[in-house]
Amino acid sequence: MKRLILILLTFAPLIAIAQDDTRNWATRGIRVGEVAVYGNRPMKEIAITETKLDTIALKENIALSMADVLTFNTSIFVKNYGRATLSTVSFRGTSPSHTQVSWNGMKINSPMLGMTDFSMIPSFFVDDASLLHGTSSVNETGGGLGGAVKLATKPADNRGFGLQYIQGVGSFKTFDEFLRLTYGNDHWQVSTRAVYSSSPNDYKYRNHDKKENVYDEDMNIADQYYPVERNRSGAYKDLHILQEVYYNTGKGDRIGLNAWYINSNRELAMLTVDHGDDTDFDNRQREQTFRGVVSWDHLRDGWKIGAKAGYIYTWMAYDYKRDVGNGIMAVMTRSRSRINTIYGQADGEYSIGNKWLFTANVSLHQHIVVSEDKNIVRQDGNKAIVGYRKGRPEVSASVSAKWRPTESIGVSLVVREEMFGKEWTPIIPALFVDGVVSRAGNIVAKASISRNYRFPTLNDLYFLPGGNPDLRSESGWTYDAGLSFAVGREGLYSLSGSATWFESYISDWIIWLPTPKGFFSPDNIKDVHAYGIETKADLDITLAKDWHLGIDGTFSWTPSVNIGEPRTPADKSVGKQLPYVPELSSSVTGLVTWRKWSFLYKWCYYSVRYTMSSNDISLSGKLPPYFMSNISLERVISLRWADISLKGTVNNLFNEEYLSVLSRPMPGINFEVFVGITPKFKTR
Amino acid sequence: MSRLSLYIFVIISLTACMKWEYGLEEEFDTSASGEGLFICNEGNFQYGNATLSYYDPVTKEVQNEVFYRSNAMKLGDVCQSMIIRDGIGWVVVNNSHVVFAIDINTFKEVGRITNLTSPRYIHFISDDKAYITQIWDNRIFIVNPKRYEITGYINIPNMTMESGSTEQMVQYGKYVYVNCWSYQNRILKIDTETDKVVDELVVGIQPTSLVMDCNNKLWTVTDGGYEGSPYGHEAPSLYRIDAETFTIEKQFRFSFGDWPSEVQLNGTKDKIYWLNDDVWEMDVTADMVPVRPFLPYDNTLYYGLTVCPRTGDVYIADAIDYVQQGMVYRYSKDKELLDSFYVGIIPGAFCWK
């Protein structure tokens, strides 16, 4: 046992909770576990910079999307266009399409846009979530110039029948429903989950961007005032259904089926500077998506193989209409897109003793996209559709060798190759090294370096008008180096933390710009130097008998600077922070539990976001820093036949008037209460 | 006490927050200066950061964000165009569905016309009647500028709402001529007494501008569409059209792939200017496009163009990367650079005081 020394104290309490995640926080509580040891650290995690999101974050309440979870639990910047509205991320100062997102192994970034809308992922549908920062993403996929987000479901590990129902009622006539049915035995685990959220979403706000006029009889302005408006045209209805079936032979084979259906109907809220009458306009986006994955894992002593197959179908509709009189809504814009994606993956692992691990992986995504952006009448009088139909196979393959010559040193080499259409990337290499610096404090140092490429999206290449088939892939070098520590005493406290320095150079950054023809077109414009420090710390303490405190915090400093050539002599953007990327971001969550009570405080901070590439602070174009605080209080009542949970949440606790994006007001203080019931079925 | 201080510090740091700010009204008075140039800065679509700049050609002073600074509110989303009539500036803000009326000396708002579909340009027929063209609408809105009211519509024949596009307007006698741009190829002729389209003239694909010279000739330039467009893609052309007979007199063809735009006139209306990478100048009576440009391409993409009606100075807008303050270059008619100044994001249109 002498060789067992270090680490992972951080995750010990989380693992304890994760194994029992069907229960609420108050029942679960915070467990201050024992300090895990260095020698137990998985070979696959050599020098990996990873942020794992715990069950407390993911299962806090049913109204949350992954955008909310990332905002308050990571240092990623979430660009939020409003409540229940498009939410994209900036990971390490990169653009939304530089973050690769997978669900049960299958990439779910839009092949048309490259990005992922995290507001469309209910956090209650995710059992396992982690961020792979920078170079670490190469272990999973290519194209993650900022990093990767891994989302997964997993068996509930229940015996017999289970049921959980939660209903939430909140401000702005918001209703959230969650139902989960489970069945499990030694071999089978079956789960059905459904989430339905709806709201007119018409929150009030004082509009600082415009004034209302009061005219006299001669139509002279007699008075002006800043109106208190409601969020206009922001209603939403989102339905998600997730079906899971897992079969475990008990002899080393596991089979899984995951099927996720989304039906979303969202209005697109009017800007603060919109002087239209919202009853005369209908601006709406609808989406239906099906994602299904079948997986098979075959585990044996020393080796493992697995295969996955999947399918994604997405239908998206955007309609912009206006009343032309008598209630007739005439179509101004009617866009439709259909995406079919077929997915296959095979992977294997082989270990030689405790010192070597070899992995291989190959995945295929075949996308078939039909984009119909606009209906027009041609010169000959016939109707036509402006759009494109394209298919593209995307292949990604990697091999890796991981070597731990001694207990305190680990080396990992990953080599990846990707193909998009007929284009192949150069070899994508990544090298990882870590080592124990001090056994006292379990201090581990790690470093990594990787090359990476991201292919243009299908819209980048083919969108009409403006698509540019001559685009080059974006490419980048990334370096990481960091330290982590973990200390603690079982049952009393645990404290862990890490700090990572990173540096990325990204070339041929693709940007969409207006053209003199009146439409946008992408080009390889920028070279970007993104660098900075990411830190995080986790503390769990047993304060007194039945009193536990858990605090998680992150802080990031992420300059992301344009280092390209000036576009013109007047260009002031060189050497400046990219627009809409904060240099500083931070989040803190604090959870206190006492018996069946729990109290959670969440806080996040983003520094100023420049809206111009020149970083000019203009009157009409700046986004000041903002802090946000949310709290929730939960009480669990354990009855003989069921557990009843009662929870109240307060969002925007200090009723701040703020914007995350220009002209997109965010809601002030708002409330939601949740009632959950988990019947206790008898199990044999 | 030290623990209490720590708690207080933590609470303050967790709750402090910067506000969504109100503007402050500034007082302006530019009446002493006879000349002045308004610059419409489009801003970024959907971000509501359009602005209005004001330049004094005599003092060479520029004031940016004058609408915001004078009115303590934002101009809106995509400032498209501006005209002046009787001391009132009419500023068309496309994606805010509004046309603001402002005092051209103080920049104070005096009224607004709201709930337009997607306004592009405004043209006055009389003191109490104006037309406002639209994109994504097959109607031209008729408004009463005195009462800031929509009073009616001109329905455009053979145009759907979705591909609706009416643009710039010029008037000859009782007729107003309008170019139809996006997925269109026509110049319309509207009788201002009946408010009806009485004739149309087919030109090339997507005519982008419309002006009328000293000889009552209309000038428009097409952009030729784009590669892959189901509407067609062709070499663009510059057209000279006789307003009286409403027929094409002359067609100047450009090379396939050229992107001409922004046809403008000088003060005496005997020269036209346009952008096609370079800045071009031509007599309105010329039979051929000049061989050499007025100002050669200078490693940037010019986005806007105007000519001072009094001095003949040529002003060119450089949008740079479209997400920073654009630059306006001022050249004399002898091609000497006289001044340059930063304005707002994507300077696209000008209006002379």
Q: What is the pLDDT of residues A186-242, one digit of tens each?
A: 999 999 999 999 999 999 999 999 999 999 999 999 999 999 999 989 999 999 999
Supply the pLDDT for residue B19: 66
pLDDT at B150 exceeding the cut of 60: yes
Flag whether A31 is in a domain: no
CB interface of B with A, residues 282-341, below 8 Å: 298-303, 318-325, 327, 340
Supply the pLDDT for residue A30: 56
Say what percent of chain A tops pLDDT 70. Answer: 94
Average pLDDT, chain A: 91
CB contact under 8 A, B112 and A616: no
Flag whether A46 is in a domain: no
Supply the pLDDT for residue A157: 86
Flag whether A136 is in a domain: yes
Q: How many independent structural domains does chain A possess? A: 1
Task: Name the percent of chain A in helix, strand, coil, to the closest 5.
Answer: 10, 60, 35
CB contact under 8 A, A273 and B15: no
Average pLDDT, chain B: 93
- CATH number, domain at A178? 2.40.170.20
Q: What is the mean pLDDT of residues B168-186?
A: 97
d(CA B315, CA B313): 7
Please write the tens of the pLDDT for every residue from A497-520: 999 999 999 999 998 887 777 788
B225: closest CA of chain A, how far (Å): 8
Supply the pLDDT for residue A416: 97
CB contact under 8 A, B139 and A324: yes
Please write the tens of the pLDDT for every residue from A291-328: 999 999 999 999 999 999 999 999 999 999 999 988 89
pLDDT at A8 exceeding the cut of 80: no
Flag whether A219 is in a domain: yes
pLDDT at A20 exceeding the cut of 90: no
Q: Which residues of A touch B16 (CB under 8 A)?
A: 627
Supply the pLDDT for residue A446: 96
Q: Where are the alpha helices (DSSP H) in A395-528?
A: 458-462
Q: Which residues of B touch A332 (CB under 8 A)?
A: 117-118, 136-137, 161-162, 164
Flag whether A39 is in a domain: no
Q: Domain of A74?
A: 2-21+53-679
Flag whether A34 is in a domain: no
pLDDT at A442 exceeding the cut of 80: yes
Please write the tens of the pLDDT for every residue from A130-162: 999 999 999 999 999 999 999 999 998 888 999
User: Of B122, B323, B48, which Cα lies nearest the Cα of A210?
Assistant: B48
Flag whether A552 is in a domain: yes
pLDDT at A114 exceeding the cut of 90: yes
Chain A CA closest to residue B162: A332
pLDDT at A35 exceeding the cut of 80: no
Structure tokens at B201: 């003239």
Prior bond of A465 cis (ω within 30°): yes
Please write the tens of the pLDDT for every residue from A640-678: 999 999 999 999 999 988 888 899 999 999 999 999 999
Flag whether A684 is in a domain: no
User: Of A285, A220, A342, A277, which Cα lies nearest the Cα of A81?
Assistant: A285
- Looking only at the bridges linking them, the beta strands covering B129-134 and A664-665 are unpaired
d(CA A563, CA A179): 50
pLDDT at A283 exceeding the cut of 90: yes
B214: closest CA of chain A, how far (Å): 27
| A interface test, pick of B11, B71, B88, B96 with most A CB neighbours within 10 Å | B96
Q: Using the 8-state DSSP alphabet, how is residue A24 labeled?
A: -
Q: What is the mean pLDDT of residues A245-253?
A: 94
CB contact under 8 A, B17 and A654: yes
